Chain A
């Protein structure tokens, strides 16, 4: 239920809390061409694993937030649920029925709508906005009760919708180009609500808007939800917006959901290291913000063509679990893990290093010296002596061109449960498994 205005007078309150949408092991892989970047990142011709096994329920009347950084698969989840894209595996049930078993999706399409980020691209620029709002009524042959004159009824319905979203009927004959972004998003909302759906996917609906206008649209969406008893899947990268509008939140990283929790709990007591880092990195509108220390996540999100084994967050996680018996500080372990990742990706410029050394000395530099130089370049923390030696030995193998031996030498000592086992659960992290 929306926190803002408990819906007292709306009809089927009794069904609140039941799952309207159930998503199980949903997967969407794209088998597209290989970009140069992916080749460089070592992804080869693997498919893009945009969504890779996500499960959740959206209960009637609630807003489930789906949050994560760009490219993590949020929009693909929304589109796959609505069957705008077909999943490569997994299932979606709507109101108890698996969609895959429905021969005809018309009823579902009527009942489940989507609102996109870019209000300019989702409305036909050559069509007066009134017609855009009327279009779904015509496509689905509304009104279905057969009463009155259909054209008149549609006309009235469009007028009612457009006023409800805060515009005036005098604006119905105008074209999208004559409206601001916020007004167009209101028109988009009117169109999405035309057929009185139960479920709406809101895909970054305010991300293209200025903050003053965003606030208007967010308030409108919250009001409409309680008025029409809507269920929302709210997709956004903006944690402030997510917190404001959502009842429960699912956090995505690299095609997977890493944590699901009630909104309040997620923000006050984040569990998964990624959720924690994500929250920490948002700058607060607060005078104390300058004093707040942020320890930002290092590095970038890996390619979804070639996600890390085990826990996908492990290449950036500030809490990777060292193997039993290895007593080492996180910072040191992180540094070693980074070297191992680079060895796995063969991403160490051995030749450049050798050449640079050759220029400054007589003759070909030996592997040991190349390894020492690589070590200086790649490891910027003080490692305990045994670890320093071990890493140095690994780099010596790299200098000799024996990448697999290097990888194996380091794996033996440093392999973590975070790379071997895929974590599961409400909080998908080995730190939270019994």
Chain B
């Protein structure tokens, strides 16, 4: 394995709501290599989106990252920080910890090196400004940020990516240069929008869902990010449009070598796009490894369950093997101190009443699973009695 561009360690994000504390992301660790597509898969409410927001530091109140680090490779900045303070905890080798940087540095870095795209492109654009102008503003923000990180504010703040950029850099753009407009048209062309010059003059509602999703990708590319975080970018789209967007993302990936963290609940999308994958359940990464690790030798019963539940297109006869029970609550007080999957796990043993750590699993170097079965063979004799977890 090469040097990662992103190293997430023990990331923990909680929401402190009136109903109680929600453990949305719980001790999540993974590496992402430069130029790869790292997938995060899991069912709704498993903490995928909050993980994404935590990566780009967009978690809002009542949520807070309470623990862990997000290391990002930025050799020059790491060196500078160490010069200022030789004992700093914010730099490690060539990496800097986004959580430990001071606010200005973090925002500048986040705004230029990271970009995020969302499931719903409509909410990411200001409905009263043309698509071209909004992308041009992103270009402008990027240009000025590189020149002078504190000088810009945008009219589109509050909307999706621009909100992200502008909260990154405290900006306003009332003036968008002709160059930035031309660049916006180029970007629309890059993401496969036909006749981009005239589409640039249209408003978001004049775009179809698929076209707007492309426009959002164009906007994300405007900042020439090193890392693109895409949260369910095709979930709201029809399959034929999904195929278009995935192809576009794949082409961009190949062309710019952009590192991508792709979040989805769809195992097919994972199979099509990703090099390595993390499986989330109840706020944790229960298994991570290469695509082969997960598909050929899944180690965690939840991963097996996900694979067994997915109807296959190429074989209609297989009976589905569902996972019993329901997706769990992440409310702290309702989270028992055991393997969170135990109540649905067909192989739960008495040992599982102690929370399992991550174990190395068979397969690639990075294949790990949070399950005792990654270490020990399954012995039906150890199984918990049937109905053990049934409500009394």
Contacts and interface: CB of A to CB of B under 8 A. Distances in A.
Nearest to B209: A300
A82 interface: no
B307 A287 contact: no
B170 interface: no
B53 interface: no
B195 A182 contact: no
Nearest to B327: A210
Contacts of A183: 326
A210 B323 CA distance: 11
Nearest to B202: A40
Given A213-B327, A244-B311, A287-B295, A218 B320 contact: yes
Contacts of B197: 349, 352-353, 356, 377
A289 B239 contact: no
A294 B243 contact: yes
A122 interface: no
B165 to A, nearest CB: 27
Contacts of B327: 180, 210, 212-213
Contact of B244 (A286, A297, A349): A297
A327 to B, nearest CB: 26
A267 interface: yes
B247 interface: yes
A216 interface: yes
Contacts of B210: 300
B239 A285 contact: no
B174 interface: no
A233 B247 CA distance: 33
A126 interface: no
Interface in A169-211: 180, 182-183, 210-211
A384 interface: no
B195 A290 contact: no
A212 B43 contact: yes
B133 to A, nearest CB: 14
A238 B211 CA distance: 22
Interface in B303-338: 305-314, 316-324, 326-327
Interface in A49-85: 69-70
B276 to A, nearest CB: 13
Contact of B240 (A4, A215, A218, A277): A277
A267 B316 contact: yes
A11 interface: no
Nearest to B310: A285
A283 B307 CA distance: 14
A245 B44 CA distance: 24
A150 to B, nearest CB: 32
Contacts of A284: 268, 271-272, 312-314
Contacts of A214: 309, 322
A211 B326 contact: no
Nearest to A380: B194
A282 B320 CA distance: 19
B247 A296 contact: yes
Contact of B238 (A69, A212, A283): A69
Contacts of B273: 290
Contacts of B239: 69, 237, 239, 278, 281-282
A215 B321 contact: yes
A211 B195 contact: no
Nearest to B274: A290
Nearest to A212: B323
Contacts of A215: 308-311, 320-323
B271 A290 contact: yes
Contacts of A219: 319-320, 322
Contacts of B312: 240, 243, 284-285
A211 B246 contact: no
Nearest to A240: B311
B148 interface: no
Contacts of B206: 37, 40
A210 B238 contact: no
A377 B272 contact: no
A72 to B, nearest CB: 9
A113 to B, nearest CB: 23
A121 B321 CA distance: 28
Task: Assign chain B's interface to a size class.
Answer: 35 or more
B242 to A, nearest CB: 7
A352 B198 contact: yes
Contact of B320 (A244, A279, A296, A338): A244
A37 B268 CA distance: 32
Contact of A296 (B244, B266, B308): B244
Nearest to A300: B208
B269 interface: yes
A37 B205 contact: yes
Contacts of A239: 239, 313
Contacts of B265: 210-211
B44 A240 contact: no
B243 A296 contact: yes
A263 interface: yes
A37 B272 CA distance: 33
Interface string A240-260: 110110000000000000000
B77 interface: no
A205 to B, nearest CB: 13
B8 interface: no
Interface string B179-216: 00000000000000011011001000110101100000
Nearest to B210: A300
A290 B262 CA distance: 15
B310 A240 contact: yes
Nearest to A239: B313
B240 A212 contact: no
Interface in B10-42: none
Contact of A182 (B266, B267, B292, B326): B326
Most chain B C-beta atoms within 10 Å of own C-beta, residue among A243, A285, A286, A338: A285
A141 interface: no
A69 B322 contact: no
Interface string A326-340: 000000000000100
A282 B231 CA distance: 19
Interface string A282-310: 11111101101010111011000000000
B326 A213 contact: yes
Contacts of A211: 43, 265, 267, 306, 309-310
A417 interface: no
A77 to B, nearest CB: 18
A298 B194 CA distance: 10
B241 interface: yes
B218 interface: no
Given A281-B243, A290-B272, 16 more contacts: A212-B309, A212-B322, A215-B309, A215-B310, A215-B311, A218-B311, A280-B243, A281-B242, A284-B271, A285-B268, A290-B273, A297-B240, A300-B241, A301-B238, A338-B194, A349-B198
Chain A to chain B: the 6 pairs with minimum beta-carbon distance, closest first: A283-B268, A215-B322, A240-B311, A349-B198, A281-B243, A215-B309
15 contacts: A3-B316, A4-B319, A37-B205, A212-B327, A216-B322, A240-B310, A240-B311, A283-B266, A285-B268, A290-B271, A290-B273, A292-B272, A297-B243, A298-B244, A348-B195
